[in-house]
Amino acid sequence: MKSQYFVIKKLNGEKRFVEVDEELTAEEFMAYFSLYAKEAYPITEDEYKKCTGNK
């Protein structure tokens, strides 16, 4: 299954970059992680790698 990549903005304003192995929309991601995330939006694999330094 193809991974999906997200940027999430935590309740304290900190940004995190997340890779999930399920096909989720930003809305579904927020539904699962609403206690943790204030905002979430999808990004590309290249954007994820650039922001996290993962190659």
Confidence at residue 55, expressed as pLDDT on a 0 to 100 scale:
65
Would you list the DSSP string of the chain? ---EEEEEEETTS-EEEEEESS---HHHHHHHSTTTEEEEEEE-HHHHHHHH---
* pLDDT greater than 70 at residue 1: no
pLDDT tens-digit map of 8-38: 888 888 888 888 887 777 778 777 777 777 8
